[in-house]
Amino acid sequence: MRTRLCIPMLAAALAAAATFVARADAPGVYAIRGARIVTAAGAPIESGTVVIRHGLIEAVGAGVTVPADAWVIEGAGLTVYPGLIDMGTATGIDAPSAPQPQDPQTTEEVERWKRSVILRPHLKAANHVATESADLHKFVSAGVTTVLARPAGAGIAGWSALLNVVPPDDAPQIGGVADVRSGLLVVRDDVALHVALERPPGGGGYPVSQMGLIAFVRQAFLDGQHYGLARQRDARTASGPQRPAYDPSLEALAPALGGRLPVAFRAGLSREIRRALKMAAEFELDPIITGALEADQVAAELKARNARVVYSLNYPTRPKTLAPDADEPLRVLRQRANAPKVPAALETAGVLFAFESVGLTDPKAFLKNAAQAVKEGLPPDAAIRALTINAARIAGAADRLGSLEAGKIANVIVTDGDLFGDETKIRHVFVDGRLVRIEEAEASPQPNRRGRGF
């Protein structure tokens, strides 16, 4: 008896075979040969080779030999940099939010909802990664290979996670439990607890003002301290009527209150930064200041507190809704003019800083605005460090990425000129050792065969 294979089954079989062949032929070894290499860990190498093998940087240097099994990129006229790190975006996570009560019967019901919105230290960005986010993939065209995805919102918003922007292909799963795909993007979870001391959401209930929210956050840290002490006492004695009720929000504050993990305060104005530093000192927190529009005015205080800064490259602009002949406050005009100059002031003061893109709609503006900071006095090598190794240090991941060194994750970008040049284009991007397609068709030709340049 002859078995007949129907056309749909044949098509499916051929597609599966093609997929298998594509994965089997996908190179795990690359060599970028004869390029200028900016390692972010030392002096640039004017002509050298970077070898990438199975997701890691295998070798970097002027005298590195190209392995026989490598796919070669001829690097003459090209420059190799570590992949850029954006230290602040809400892109890449899809965190749930409690719906506001539509017909509340009591004030307690409203305040319980508001508490769930502004007190969320139990929310972990790593648990809500949007794995196939097209918006996340757009970072590739800007040379950004890693982002710090942070929960949004006022109050204590939750814990951020360091993510690579492109997930790998699924490995074959035969006879085993499937991987958690979102976990393939996570480089480090629980990077920092994010706090925004701004106006809380409406809807009634306490708090209703910015000062009320500040008092609420301070009380939350006090409650967290008391809760931690009560839990320690309960662990030493038999459970009784004094046993504290389990509270996931207060429980999740422990790493921050113990100083084991940093707290990232969103603060722009100098008075807001001072307020955040004061709260950090009161509760012995390890502070990071994000946004930091007026950080230059308190640079000495930031340095004295060993506070790191994640400076926003979403520079203030004149509102489009404002009439052309309308006046603006002098303070606003000064902020706008001064914004690109702040990073140079932080570098001069010795404050460790990196950059974030929160609020920018075009990922390419991230690098463009960093280049503007260079034009306003930030040394180019300092700007590169802020975009790479300094960002990795602030994120607690400098042992894994941020520089071109053997053993680190192969997040690598290749440009046809200086990173901050007006005409420079990004030609190749590697994420976790994989060559990633760039949106512009002309920007990244694909390899043709092993051992030959492309």
Q: What is the pLDDT of residues 139-148, one digit of tens each?
A: 999 999 999 9
Q: Are strands 353-356 and 144-149 parallel, antiparallel or unpaired?
A: unpaired
Tell me what the mean pLDDT of segment 28-40 comes to. Answer: 96
Instruction: Please tell me the total number of residues recorded for the chain in this structure.
Output: 454
User: CB-based contacts of 343: which residues, under 8 Å, 6+ apart?
Assistant: 311, 353, 355, 373, 378, 382, 383, 386
Return d(Cα 279, Cα 268) in angstroms, integer: 15
Q: Decide if 435 contacts 428 (C-beta within 8 A).
A: yes
CATH architecture designation of domain 84-174+181-317+327-400 = Alpha-Beta Barrel (3.20)
Q: Where are the domains of the chain?
A: 27-83+402-454, 84-174+181-317+327-400
Average pLDDT in the chain: 86
This prediction's pTM? 0.87
Residue 19 in tokens: 């997929």
Q: Which of 169-183, 231-245, 272-286 has the lowest mean pLDDT?
A: 169-183
Q: What is the pLDDT of residues 376-422, one digit of tens each?
A: 999 999 999 999 999 999 999 999 999 999 999 999 999 999 999 99
Instruction: Give the pLDDT band (50/70/90) at residue 18.
Output: very low
CATH number, domain 27-83+402-454, options 3.90.1200.10, 3.90.1150.10, 3.20.20.70, 2.30.40.10: 2.30.40.10
Q: What is the pLDDT of residues 255-304, one digit of tens each?
A: 999 899 999 999 999 999 999 999 999 999 999 999 999 999 999 999 99
User: CB-based contacts of 36: which residues, under 8 Å, 6+ apart?
Assistant: 44, 45, 46, 47, 48, 75, 78, 79, 80
- Among 350, 351, 383, smallest CA distance to 369 is for 383
Helix axes 270-282, 210-236, angle to 10 degrees: 20
Q: Decide if 31 contacts 58 (C-beta within 8 A).
A: no
User: CB-based contacts of 237: which residues, under 8 Å, 6+ apart?
Assistant: none
Buried b (16+ CB within 10 A) or exposed e, 129-148: bbbebeebbbbbbbbbbbbb
Instruction: Give the pLDDT band (50/70/90) at residue 204.
Output: confident
Question: Is the per-residue pLDDT at 358 higher than 80?
Answer: yes
- Among 413, 366, 369, 368, smallest CA distance to 36 is for 413
Q: For the chain, what is the HEC assignment?
A: CCCCCCHHHHHHHHHHHHHHHHHHHCCCEEEEEEEEECCCCCCCEEEEEEEEECCEEEEEECCCCCCCCCEEEECCCCEEEECEEEEEECCCECCCCCCCCCCCCCHHHHHHHHHHHHECCCCEHHHHECCCCHHHHHHHHHCEEEEEECCCCCEEEEECEEEECCCCCCCCCCCCCCCCHHHHCEEECCCCEEEECCCCCCCCCCCCCHHHHHHHHHHHHHHHHHHHHHHHHHHHCCCCCCCCCCCHHHHCCHHHHCCCCCEEEEECCHHHHHHHHHHHHHCCCCEEEEECCCHHHHHHHHHHCCCEEEEECCCCCCCCCCCCCCCCCHHHHHHHHHHHHHHHHHHHHCCCEEEECCCCCCCHHHHHHHHHHHHCCCCHHHHHHHHCHHHHHHCCCCCCCCCCCCCCECCEEEECCCCCCCCCCEEEEEECCEEECCCCCCCCCCCCCCCCCC
Q: What is the pLDDT of residues 307-319, one digit of tens each?
A: 999 999 999 998 8
Instruction: Give the pLDDT band (50/70/90) at residue 23.
Output: very low
Q: How far is CA 397 from the centre of its chain?
A: 11
Cis preceding-peptide flag for 104 (omega within 30 of 0)? no
Instruction: Give the pLDDT band (50/70/90) at residue 439.
Output: low
Q: Decide if 55 contacts 410 (C-beta within 8 A).
A: yes
Residue 295 in tokens: 């950080």
Q: pLDDT > 90: what percent of the chain?
A: 65
At position 186, the amino acid (one-letter code) is V
Q: Which of 93-97, 139-143, 351-355 has the lowest mean pLDDT?
A: 93-97
Return d(Cα 247, Cα 251) in angstroms, integer: 6
- The neighbouring-strand residues paired with 428 are 414
Return d(Cα 169, Cα 184) in angstroms, integer: 9
The whole-number pLDDT of residue 451 equals 43
The whole-number pLDDT of residue 223 equals 95
The residue behind tokens 């046809």 is 416
Return d(Cα 88, Cα 78) in angstroms, integer: 29
Q: pLDDT > 70: what percent of the chain?
A: 86
Tell me what the mean pLDDT of segment 226-254 comes to. Answer: 81
